[in-house]
Chain A
Amino acid sequence: MLAFPLLAALLCWRARTPGIASGATLASCIAVLVLAIDTAFAALRGGTVVGVEIAVAADALSALMLLLIAVVATGAAFFSRGYMQRMREGPARLWFYYLNFNLFVFSMLAVPLLVEPTLVWIFVELTTLCSAMLVGYENTREALEAAWKYVALSLMGAAIGLLGFLVLFAAMQAAGGGTYTWEGLVQAAPRMPPALIETAFLLVLVGFGTKVGLVPLHTWLPDAHSQAPSPVCAVLSGVETTVILYVILRMLPVLDAVPGVDLQLWTVSFGLLSVGVAAFLLIQVRDYKRMFAYSTVEHMGIILVAAGLGSAAANYSTVYQALTHTLTKSFCFYAAGAALLATGSRDILAQRGLIRRSPATGASLLIGGLAIAGAPPFAVFLSEFSIFRAGLAEGRYIAIGLLVLFIAIGFFAVMRHVNRMVFGAAAGAAEPFRLPASCAAVLVVAAALVIVSGLYLPPPLHELLQRAAARMAG
Chain B
Amino acid sequence: MDPTLLLAVNALAGGLFLLCAFGIVTMRQVRGCLNLFIAQSLLLAASAFLLGAAFDSWHLVGVGIVNLIAKPFVIPWILRRMLHEEIYARREIDQAVNIPTSLLAALALVILGYFLTLPILEALDPASRLGNVAIGFAGLFLGAFTLAVRREAVPLLIGVLAMENGAFFAGIAMSRNLPFIVELAIASDGLILVFVVGVLTRMLHRRVGSTDVGALAALKEGEP
Q: Report which A residues bind B (CB closer than 8 A).
A: 116, 118-119, 121-122, 125-126, 129, 132-133, 136, 139-142, 144-149, 151-152, 155-156, 159-160, 162-163, 166-167, 169-174, 180, 193-196, 199, 222-223, 226-227, 281, 284-286, 290, 347
Q: Are B204 and A148 in contact (CB under 8 A)?
A: yes
B62–chain A nearest beta-carbon distance, Å = 15
3 closest A-B pairs by CB:
A193-B123, A159-B163, A170-B174
How many residues belonging to B are interface residues under a CB distance threshold of 8 Å? Answer: 53
Q: Is B119 an interface residue (CB 8 A)?
A: yes
Contact A173 B216 (CB under 8 A): no
- Once the chains are docked, how many angstroms separate the CA of A146 from the CA of B207? 14
Considering the chains assembled together, what is the distance between the CA atoms of A159 and B178 in angstroms? 17
Smallest CB gap from B137: residue in A: A163
19 sampled A-B residue pairs with Cβ under 8 A: A119-B182, A140-B207, A141-B207, A144-B207, A146-B219, A148-B213, A148-B216, A156-B147, A156-B159, A159-B166, A166-B167, A166-B171, A167-B120, A167-B170, A170-B128, A173-B176, A180-B179, A199-B119, A286-B222
Contacts of B124 in A (CB 8 A): 170, 174, 193, 196
Which residues on the B side are within 8 Å of A347 (C-beta)? 224
Chain A min CB distance to B100 (Å): 24
For residue A222, which residues in chain B have a CB less than 8 angstroms away from its CB?
219
A159 and B213 alpha carbons, distance in the complex (Å): 20
A173 to B166, CA, bound (A): 20
Q: If the complex has contacts A132-B196, A166-B170, A166-B178, are A195 and B186 also in contact, measured as CB distance less than 8 A?
A: no
8 Å CB interface, B169-186 against A: 170-171, 174-179, 182, 185-186
- Cα-based distance from A284 to B220 in the complex (angstroms): 11
B199 contacts A133, C-beta separation under 8 Å: yes
A contact residues around B136 at 8 Å (CB): 163
Question: Chain B's nearest CB lies how many Å from the CB of A196?
Answer: 5
Q: Is the CB of A129 within 8 A of B213?
A: no
Contacts of B119 in A (CB 8 A): 195, 199
B65 within 8 A of A: no
CB distance A166 to B174 under 8 Å?
Answer: yes
Interface SS, A side:
helix
- Cα distance, A302 to B140, chains bound together (Å): 30
Q: Are B208 and A199 in contact (CB under 8 A)?
A: no
Assess whether A173 is in contact with B175, with CB atoms less than 8 Å apart.
yes
Inter-chain CA distance A172–B176, complex, in Å, is 11
Q: Which residues of B contact A (CB under 8 A)?
A: 116, 119-120, 122-125, 128, 136-137, 140, 143-144, 147, 153, 156, 159-160, 163-164, 166-168, 170-171, 174-179, 182, 185-186, 189, 192-193, 196-197, 199-200, 203-204, 207-208, 213, 216-219, 221-222, 224
Given A132-B200, A162-B167, A286-B224, A195 contacting B175 (CB threshold 8 A): no
Bound: A133/B201 CA distance, A: 11
Report the Cα distance A167→B170, complex, angstroms: 9
Q: How far is the CA of A194 from the CA of B120 in the complex (A)?
A: 9
Does the CB pair A152–B156 fall under 8 Å?
Answer: yes
Are A173 and B177 in touch, CB under 8 angstroms?
yes
* A116→B175 CA distance, assembly (Å): 15
Chain A's closest residue to B196 (CB) is: A129
CB pair B186–A159 under 8 Å, yes or no, is no
Given contacts A146-B219, A195-B123, contact A151 B196 (CB under 8 A): yes
Question: With contacts A156-B163, A193-B124 known, what are 15 further pairs, Cβ within 8 A?
Answer: A121-B186, A136-B200, A140-B207, A152-B156, A156-B147, A156-B159, A159-B143, A169-B171, A169-B175, A196-B120, A227-B219, A284-B221, A285-B221, A286-B221, A290-B221
**A148–B200 contact, CB under 8 A?**
yes
How far apart sit A227 and B219, CA to CA, in the bound complex (Å)?
9
- Measured between C-beta atoms, what is the minimum distance from A260 to chain B in Å? 12
Give Cα distance in the complex from A227 to B220, angstroms. 12
User: Measured between alpha carbons, how far is A180 from B156 in the docked complex, in Å?
Assistant: 33
Which chain A residues lie closer than 8 Å to B213 at the CB level? 145, 148, 152
Expressed in whole angstroms, the Cα–Cα distance for A141 and B222 within the complex equals: 19
Q: Are B171 and A163 in contact (CB under 8 A)?
A: yes
In the assembled complex, which residues on chain B have CB atoms less than 8 Å from the CB atom of A147? Answer: 200
Nearest CB on B from A442, distance (A): 27
Hey, which chain A residues are within 8 Å of B153, CB to CB? Answer: 148
A174-B125 contact, Cβ under 8 Å, with A136-B200, A166-B167, A286-B224 = yes
Bound Cα distance from A122 to B191, whole angstroms: 12
Question: In the complex the two chains form, is B224's CB within 8 Å of A162's CB?
Answer: no
- In the complex formed, the residue of B with least CB distance to A146 is B219
Nearest chain B CB to A296's CB is how many angstroms away? 15
A196 touches B123 (CB 8 A): yes
Q: Find out whether the CB atom of A169 lies under 8 angstroms from the CB atom of B123.
A: no
Instruction: Please state if B160 and A159 are interface contacts (CB–CB under 8 Å).
Output: yes
Q: Note all chain B residues with C-beta closer than 8 A to A159.
A: 140, 143-144, 160, 163-164, 166-167
For A193, list chain B residues within 8 Å (CB): 123-124
Known: A118-B178, A170-B128, A180-B179. A126 touches B171 (CB 8 A): no
> B residues within 8 A CB of A173?
125, 175-177
